[in-house]
Amino acid sequence: MPCFTRGAAPLLSLTLTLAIAGTAGAATPNASDAGIGTGSTALDTPLGDIAFDNGKTLALTLGYASSATHRDGDPADLVYALTDRGPNIHCDDSGKVVGVADFCKGPQGVDNDGKIFPMPGFTPQITAIRLGADADGHLTARVERRIDLKDSQGQPISGIGNPLTVTDTENGYDAHGTQLPLDPEGLDPEGLVRLADGSFWLSEEYGPSLVHAAADGTILQRVVPDNEVDDLKAANYPLAGELPTILSRRKLNRGAESLALSPDGRTLYFAMQSPLANPDKAAYKTSRNVRLFAVDLDDQGRFAGVAHEYLYRLDTPDTFHDADSGRGDANAKQSSVKVSEMSILPDGRLIVLERVSKTTKLYRIDASAATDLLGGEYDALDTRPTLAQVDDPASVGIVPVAKQLVFDSLTDAPALASKIEGVAVLDATHLLLANDNDFGIEGADSVFTVLPLVPRLSQ
pLDDT in tens, 360-393: 999 999 999 999 999 999 999 999 999 999 999 9
**Whole-prediction pTM value?**
0.93
pLDDT of residue 324: 94
pLDDT of residue 34: 74
Are 161 and 207 contacting, i.e. CB atoms less than 8 angstroms apart? Answer: no
pLDDT of residue 4: 44
Contact partners, residue 387, CB within 8 Å, separation at least 6: 275, 276, 278, 289, 291, 311, 373, 378
Are 82 and 459 contacting, i.e. CB atoms less than 8 angstroms apart? Answer: no
Return d(Cα 123, Cα 186) in angstroms, integer. Answer: 9
Q: How far is CA 282 from CA 302, 335, 393, in A?
A: 37, 10, 18
Percent of the chain with pLDDT over 90: 86
pLDDT of residue 29: 59
pLDDT of residue 240: 98
pLDDT of residue 30: 72
pLDDT of residue 95: 96
pLDDT of residue 12: 29
Contact partners, residue 421, CB within 8 Å, separation at least 6: 65, 66, 67, 190, 257, 340, 341, 353, 434, 435, 436
What element of type H or E holds 410?
helix 409-412
Which residues of the chain fall short of a pLDDT of 50? Answer: 1-28, 454-459
- What one-character-per-residue DSSP string does 341-409 give? EEEE-TTS-EEEEEE-SS-EEEEEEE-TTS---TTSGGGSTT-SS-GGG-S-GGGGT--PPEEEEEEEH
